[in-house]
Structure 1
Amino acid sequence: MTDRLAGHGAKGKSSLRECPKTLDAFCLDHIARFKRPKRYEIVEALPKNNYGNVLKTVLREGLQIGK
């Protein structure tokens, strides 16, 4: 996701069953305001490898496709 002014942006993906307002409130309490995701996307499950690590490259590819 790209921002017209900054040239980049943030999009949070979550497999939790929380509403975006709850996720945003959590982010406000735990990270700086400028680091918060602009959008939240609830997904069924995050892509993981055999060791249980989240595949960030797959998440980034999804962001490039969904611009």
Structure 2
Amino acid sequence: MSDIADKLIKDYEEKPLSELADAPVSALQGVSENDAKLLDEAFGIRTVRDLGTNKYFRWAQAIANLAD
């Protein structure tokens, strides 16, 4: 889990994966509270799970992977 812990803000580093999926996106390092607000307004993304399963992000990732 240490490889994931360094991607999170301190408050979430020790949380189990089952809780991390439903943590706010601001639990991710580099995602500010304002970024989280904008993601919610633009895409309805509130949690790490929402971000990871968002269809637009998945489409973009698939296109990027295929282009490599």
Query: With structure 1 as the length reference, what TM-score do the two structures score?
Result: 0.27
Give the structure, 1 or 2, with the largest relative contact order (CA under 8 Å, sep 6 or more).
1
- Which structure: greater strand fraction? 1
Instruction: Give the TM-score, by structure 2 length.
Output: 0.27
